[in-house]
Amino acid sequence: MTPQRRGLLIILSSPSGAGKSTLAKRLRTWDAEIEFSVSATTRAPRPGEVDGKDYHFLNEAEFKTQVADEGMLEHAHVFGNFYGSPRAPVQSAIQAGRDVLFDIDWQGAQQITNSALGAHTLSIFLLPPSITELRHRLEKRGQDDKATIARRMEKSWDEISHWGAYDFVIVNDDLDQTEAQLKTIISATRLRRSQQPGLTEHVRRLQSEFEELS
């Protein structure tokens, strides 16, 4: 019998435009046991957003209480609102053998890695093949004006400079190749001893069987 595994906290980070969102969607298509972490926020819901699906919408007092009670794996204050990753649903998921995918920056990644669930994290950073290509991708997707692209480019080096804090680093020069590499990394990390709580009992059964046959 194959021992049950624990889920992973898969952290995927990159500068904007390096392909992170596209690859995150591909990973979820590849394996239904990978689910997105639903963040909590104090900002007001936008039209069409559903509480518990798009975000967990909290008021500031509720959010700060969860932080004080260590109910957030990571949190940050961005443009006047708080954002964070609730700990309870993530812990339930990994105990049930489901992986949780985090699309966060290096600061959030550091908080999660240093949290109580840090032993179950897998952190991956995506690098662009060049800064010129990074800018080209931002312009090509047509989502931002020139001023926004300029701000994203300014922030990109701050993100890239923290590449050394991650378990794995991939230069995303080709989406298909990078996807294959991500699948290999995740599949191998799932087999770490720390992710297989049933191994000790399995080995005990093998020992008992061996002793009975001796």
123 is a domain residue: yes
Block residue for tokens 């966060």: 104
Quote the crossing angle between the two packed helices 175-189 and 20-30, to the nearest 10°: 60
199 is a domain residue: yes
Q: Is the pLDDT of residue 148 over 90?
A: no
64 is a domain residue: no
Q: Is the pLDDT of residue 143 over 80?
A: no
91 is a domain residue: no
The confidence score (pLDDT) of residue 68 equals: 96
pLDDT tens figures, 150-197: 888 988 999 999 999 999 999 999 999 999 999 999 999 999 998 999
The DSSP string of 16-50 is: TTSSHHHHHHHHHHH-TTEEE---EESSPPPTT--
Band the pLDDT of 1: cuts 50, 70, 90: very low
The range of the structural domain enclosing residue 172 comes to: 9-37+98-213
Of 147 and 12, the one with more pLDDT: 12
Band the pLDDT of 2: cuts 50, 70, 90: very low
182 is a domain residue: yes
Q: Is the pLDDT of residue 10 over 50?
A: yes
Band the pLDDT of 16: cuts 50, 70, 90: confident
The confidence score (pLDDT) of residue 186 equals: 98
The confidence score (pLDDT) of residue 146 equals: 86
What is the number of domains present in the chain?
1
77 is a domain residue: no
The confidence score (pLDDT) of residue 3 equals: 44
This prediction's pTM: 0.85
> At 113, which amino acid appears?
T
The confidence score (pLDDT) of residue 209 equals: 95
Average pLDDT, the chain: 92
Rounded CA gap, 75 and 102, in Å? 13
Quote the crossing angle between the two packed helices 131-141 and 146-160, to the nearest 10°: 140
162 is a domain residue: yes
57 is a domain residue: no
**What CATH number does residue 147 fall under?**
3.40.50.300
Please state, as a whole number, how many other Cβ atoms lie within 10 Å of the Cβ of residue 138.
22
